[in-house]
A and B are shown apart, each in its own frame.
Chain A
Amino acid sequence: MSKIWVISETQSTLLELLAHAKGIAQGESIVAWSFSAEDAQAASQQGADLVYHFEGLKRPEDCTEELIKRAKAELPVAILCGNSKRAKEIAARLAAALDVGLISEGFNLKRNGDNFLSDRYIYGGLCVTTQEVTAKPFMAVMAAKMAEPLAKGTSCPVETVSTPESNVKFVELRPNQAKCDICGANVVVCVGRGISKEEDLELARRLAAKLGGEVGCTRPVAEDLHWMPEEAYIGISGQTVKPVLYIGLGVSGQIQHLSGIRDSKTIIAIDKNENAPIIESADYALVGDLYQIVPALLNELGA
C-alpha cells in the first residue's frame, strides 16, 4: 500500500504535518517519523497509521541515511517535513538523495492525482509563487501553524528504529538562555530602529505587560544593536508571529519583516515616518512621535 510520510523532531509540528497529510491522502496510509517516545505516542493517536520512533540518536539529523534507504525502497507518494532547521536539513538531504524537488515553507498544499501544488513566498515575501511537482515522491517543508492537529483517536502501532553512527560528531547543545515566547503570544509589541536608546525598550515592555503580550524586535535591533536576543527578532529569517494584535513601535516595515507578521489579525503601527512601508501595511497607523504617543497610551490604558 502506498504511503505518505511526515517527519518532525517536535511534537507540535509533527501533529500539524499529520493534519496536512490527512488533507492530501487519497487512500494512502500515513507514516510518522518521530524522535521521542512522547511524540511517537501523540502521533499514534492523532492521525498516523504507523509510527516509527528513532531511538538513541545524538541528533535527529543522524536519521537521514536510514530515511534515504527506506524512502528508496518504499517510494512514498509524498514526504512532508517540519520547518525547523534540523528538519530542513533532513528534508534537503533526502530530496537530493532521491533526486526530487523540495518546496520550502510551502502552504496551500493541493493535490490533483499525482500532481502536487503548493504556494510559497519568494523575494523576501514580496511575491507568492505557485509551484507544481509531478515526480514522486512529492516533498515539502511545510510552513508552521497552517493546520490544526487532528482529534485524538485510537493508537496505531509504534515501531522503534535504531541507526548507525553519523559522520558529524556531536559535541554539545547549549540551550537558549532567554526563553522567547513571541511565537505563541496573543499580543506582540515589536520595537524597531525608531527606538533610539536601549533603555527605551522599557516602554515596549510596559505596553506588552499591560496587554499580556511579549516584546519582539526587528532584525537590526537584535543583530546589529544586540539590544534583544536573536530569538526575539521577527522576519523571514527570524520568527514568524501570528498574534491577535501586533503593535510596531518605530518599525519601518521592510518586506522581510512584514513577512514575519503577515498573519497577524490586527496590525497597529506607530512611526514618525509617514512614508514607512509599515504605514500602508497596517490596519491602523499612527504617524507621530512614539515617545509622546506610547507614554500617553500607557496612561490611557492605566498601565
Chain B
Amino acid sequence: MPFPAKGVTERMKVIACYKWVLDEADLKVDAKSRALLTDRAKYKISEYDRNAIECGVQLVEQVGGEVIALTAGTSNAKNSIKDALSRGPAQAVLVKDELMGQADSAVTAKVLAGAIRKIGAYDIIVCGEGSSDEYSQQVGIRLGQLLEIPVISFVNKVEMKNNVLRAERKLENGIEVVEVNLPAIITVLPDINEARIPSLKQILAASKKPVQELTVADCGLSNADLEPKVHRLSVLGAVMERKQVRIEGDVSEMVQQVANIIKKEVSC
C-alpha cells in the first residue's frame, strides 16, 4: 500500500481527547452501607489522558502543527479547560450536555466522533487507554471504528517518519511494532511519557487560548444517541474479606508465628 507524500492537513493537526473525572484519591466508602461517598471529591483530568495530551504535544513539537484538546461532559467539565490548555494544546473544544453524566463508553465515543467530524480535517487522534474512573478501555478504540480510521491501541512509543505513524504496542507477550497512514487514532499507555506539570507561565497563557463549546446537536446527534447501552444498577464499596490479624511481639516472635502460617499454606 503506497504511503501518501503528505499528511492529511498542511500542518499536523492532533486531537487529544480527555475525560474530567472524580479524583479517586478523594473517594471514600461508608464502612457500614458500602455506599460511595463523593462529596469531598475534587475533579481532575484523568491520569491516562494527561499522557494522551502530552503525547500529542510532543508529536507536534517534533514535526510542527497544533494540538486541539477535546472533551465531552456536563457543564462541570468546563472547569477542566484551563488545566487542559496549560498542558500545551493550542485550543480546546468542549461538548457540553447534562446527559453526559450518564454516558457509557458507547455514548462518549459517539459524541467525540460527532465533535471530531465537526472540527474537520485532522491527522492524529490521541486518547488514553482507559479512564481513571471507569477504566473500560474502549472509548478511543470505538472512536477509531466510528470514524473508520486505523486504530492502534495500547501504545507506549510513537513516532512520525515521512508522514507514516509508527507505533509500538505493549502487549502481554511482547512489543508489537505497526505502521499506519494518517489519519489514525492511537490509545496510549501511561508509560509512554511523563505528563508535564504546567508552569505558571503556561497556566497564565492557557486562559488566552481559544475555547469552542459545542452542543450534542452541533455534533449531529440527538438525545436518543445519548441513551447509554450499559445501565448501572448499583455501585458499592468492594469488600475484601480478610482475617486482619496483627502479628505482634519482637522480631523473633513475629517471625516464628509467620513462619508457622507460611508452612501451613505451602510446603517448604
User: In the complex, what's the smallest C-beta–C-beta distance from A119 to chain B, in angstroms?
Assistant: 9
Identify which of A19-27, A69-77, A124-132 touches chain B: A124-132
User: In the complex, what's the smallest C-beta–C-beta distance from B38 to chain A, in angstroms?
Assistant: 10
Q: Flag if B247 contacts A284 (CB, 8 Å).
A: yes
Q: Flag if A123 contacts B27 (CB, 8 Å).
A: yes
Q: Flag if A292 contacts B242 (CB, 8 Å).
A: no
B14 at the A/B interface (Cβ < 8 Å)?
no
Q: Flag if B242 contacts A281 (CB, 8 Å).
A: yes
Contact with A along B207-251 (1 / 0, CB 8 A): 000000000000000000000111111111110101111111001
Q: Contacting A132 at CB < 8 Å: which of B142, B233, B246, B266? A: B233
Number of interface residues of B (CB under 8 A): 78
Closest partner residue, chain A, to B142 (CB atom): A96
A146 at the A/B interface (Cβ < 8 Å)?
no
Identify which of B89-97, B117-125, B165-173 touches chain A: B165-173
Q: Flag if A86 contacts B171 (CB, 8 Å).
A: yes
Tell me the chain A residues, 102-140 only, with Cβ under 8 Å from chain B: 102-104, 117, 121-135
User: In the complex, what's the smallest C-beta–C-beta distance from A266 to chain B, in angstroms?
Assistant: 5
Q: Flag if A95 contacts B142 (CB, 8 Å).
A: yes
B138 at the A/B interface (Cβ < 8 Å)?
yes
Q: Flag if B178 contacts A171 (CB, 8 Å).
A: yes
Given contacts A96-B142, A176-B173, A245-B266, A297 and B244 within 8 Å (CB-CB):
no
A151 at the A/B interface (Cβ < 8 Å)?
no
A168 at the A/B interface (Cβ < 8 Å)?
yes
User: In the complex, what's the smallest C-beta–C-beta distance from B33 to chain A, in angstroms?
Assistant: 12
Q: Flag if A92 contacts B145 (CB, 8 Å).
A: yes
Q: Flag if B266 contacts A186 (CB, 8 Å).
A: yes
B134 at the A/B interface (Cβ < 8 Å)?
yes
Most buried by A among B105, B109, B173, B259: B173
B75 at the A/B interface (Cβ < 8 Å)?
no
User: In the complex, what's the smallest C-beta–C-beta distance from A261 to chain B, in angstroms?
Assistant: 9
User: In the complex, what's the smallest C-beta–C-beta distance from A81 to chain B, in angstroms?
Assistant: 11
A195 at the A/B interface (Cβ < 8 Å)?
no
User: In the complex, what's the smallest C-beta–C-beta distance from A149 to chain B, in angstroms?
Assistant: 19
What are the 3 tightest A-B residue pairs by CB atom distance, in nearest-first order?
A101-B229, A96-B142, A92-B138
Would you give 15 A-B contacts (Cβ < 8 Å), ordered by A?
A89-B154, A95-B105, A96-B109, A121-B238, A123-B22, A127-B235, A133-B230, A168-B180, A173-B174, A210-B268, A255-B24, A258-B240, A262-B238, A286-B247, A300-B256
Binding site for B on A (CB under 8 A): 59, 84-86, 88-89, 91-93, 95-97, 99-104, 117, 121-135, 165, 167-176, 186-187, 210-213, 223, 230, 236-237, 244-245, 247, 255, 258, 262, 265-268, 279-289, 292-293, 296-297, 299-301
Binding site for A on B (CB under 8 A): 1, 22, 24, 27, 29, 36, 104-106, 109, 130, 132-138, 141-146, 150-154, 166, 169-181, 189-191, 228-238, 240, 242-248, 251-252, 254-256, 258-259, 261-263, 265-266, 268
Q: A92-B137, A122-B134, A171-B166 are in contact. List 16 more A-B contacts (CB 8 A).
A: A59-B178, A85-B172, A96-B142, A96-B145, A101-B228, A101-B229, A101-B230, A123-B36, A130-B232, A130-B234, A131-B231, A133-B230, A212-B266, A230-B191, A285-B246, A301-B268
